Amino acid sequence: MKIGYFGFNMGPLAEPVAMSEILQAVERCGFESAWTGEHVVAIDPQAAPSPIAPDHVMLDTVAALSFAAAVTSRIKLGSGIILLAQRNPLVLAKELAGIDVLSQGRLLVGVGVGYVPGEFEALGIPYGERGARTSEHIEAMRALWTQDKPVFNGKFTSFSGIQSKPSPVQTPHPPIIIGGMSPPAYRRAVRHGSGWYGFNQSLEAAAESIAGLAAAAKEIERPAGLGPLSVFITPRGTVDGDTIKRFEDLGVERLILLPKGRGGPTERAVQFIEETAERLGLG
C-alpha cells in the first residue's frame, strides 16, 4: 500500500517554513506522496455545503506544488483535488507541465467537479456546466500534452495552430486522478482517468464506491490506453496495519492520510507524520 499525506497547503501550515518542514518530514519518514487541497474562494459567511470557514487559509495548488517540487526530491506530488471546471484548461495544462518538469516527473494530477454553487457564481462559471466542463477540460489538457500538433474542438474550448512547451516529463502525461463520490464521477473516472480518489471514506463507504466504479465500467467503454483504474482513498480515523489490509482487500492502491486536527501547528503535524510512519513501518 502506498501512503500519502493530505493538506500541506492548508491552515497554519500554508507558509514557507512550515510547508518545508512538513514536506521534508513526509519524505524523510517514508511516505510515498504529499497532496494539496483546493478551494479557490470561500463562501462568506460560511454556509452549507461549503466545508471551510471564510478565513481558512488555503494556498493555491499550483503555487504549493511548485514549492513542494523545490524542497523535495523523491515523493510524488498530488493535487487533491483541482476543481477543474473553475480553471482555464490551457493555462492549467501549462502550469502543471511546468510542475512535472521542475519535479522531474513526480506530479499526480487530481481533478474534480466541485460542489459549492457560490464558488462557481463568484467565478462566473455556470454551476450546471461543471461536469461537462471537467470532462472536456481533461481531454483538452491531454491533447496539449500528447499531440505533436495540438488540435481540440469542444463546446467550451477549441484550439489549433498552437504549441505549449515544455511538455510534461512523464509520458504520455502525468496520471490524471478523478475525484468524487457520485455515479457521474465514477463514470468520468472510467472514461477519462488513470485513477479515482475518494475523500474521507470509511471501509464501508469505500466498498460502496468501488462497487459504483464497477457498475460504471459496465456502462462506459474505457479507453485501452488508460490501463487499469487505480483507487485512492483518504480514510476516516486512525489507520493501522489491519486497516491497511482491509483497504488492500477492497482493491485500494493508495491511502492519503489526513492529519489529526486538520492543519494544526507544525509540531503537531510533524508528530503525526513521525508517529504514523513508526506505526505503519514506513521508510
pLDDT on residue 283: 79
Q: Which of 143, 157, 36 is nearest to 93 (CA)?
A: 143
Question: Would you state the cell numbers that stand for residue 283, as one nine-digit string?
Answer: 521508510
pLDDT of 181 higher than 60: yes
Number of domains making up the chain: 1
- 266: exposed, middle or buried (Cβ count in 10 Å: 0-12, 13-18, 19+): middle
pLDDT-derived band of residue 260, with 50, 70 and 90 as boundaries?
A: confident
Residues 6+ apart with CB under 8 A from 78: 4, 33, 34, 35, 36, 107, 108, 109, 110, 177, 256
Domain housing 37: 2-280
Is omega for the bond preceding 177 within 30 degrees of 0, making it cis? no
> pLDDT at position 265, please?
81
Residue 243: count of CB within 10 angstroms of its CB: 17
| DSSP for the chain, written as a single string | -EEEEE-TTBGGG-SHHHHHHHHHHHHHTT-SEEEE---SS--SS--TT--S-TT--B--HHHHHHHHHHH-SSSEEEES-EEGGGS-HHHHHHHHHHHHHHTTS-EEEEEE----HHHHHHHT--GGGHHHHHHHHHHHHHHHHH-SS--EE-SS-EE-S----SPPSSSS-S-EEEE-SSHHHHHHHHHH-SEEEEEEE-HHHHHHHHHHHHHHHHHSPPPGGG-SPEEEEEESS---HHHHHHHHHHT--EEEEPPTTSS--HHHHHHHHHHHHHHHT--
Residue 243 pLDDT: 96
Cis peptide before 183 (omega within 30 of 0): no
pLDDT at 261 (0 to 100): 57
Whether the predicted pLDDT of 36 surpasses 90: yes
What percentage of residues in the chain have a pLDDT greater than 70?
99
Give which of 208, 243, 234, 245 is closest to 110, Cα–Cα: 234
| 263 pLDDT higher than 70 | no
Span 36-43, mean pLDDT?
97
pLDDT in tens, 190-242: 999 999 999 999 999 999 999 999 999 999 999 999 999 999 999 998 999 99
Q: Which single residue is written with the C-alpha cell 510524488?
A: 76
Instruction: Kindly report the average pLDDT of the chain as a whole number.
Output: 96
CATH number at residue 35: 3.20.20.30
- Please determine, for residue 101, whether its predicted confidence score (pLDDT) is greater than 70: yes
* Residue range 43-72: mean pLDDT, rounded: 97
Which whole number is the average pLDDT over 159-179? 98
pLDDT at position 28 over 80: yes
Predicted pLDDT of residue 264: 61
pLDDT tens digit sequence for 119-145: 999 999 999 999 999 999 999 999 999
Which cell numbers in the block locate residue 280? 505503519
| pTM, two decimal places | 0.96
Q: What is the mean pLDDT of residues 61-79?
A: 98
Phi, psi of 119 (to 5 degrees): -65, -45
Quick check: 179 pLDDT over 70? yes
What are the residues facing 3 on neighbouring strands? 255
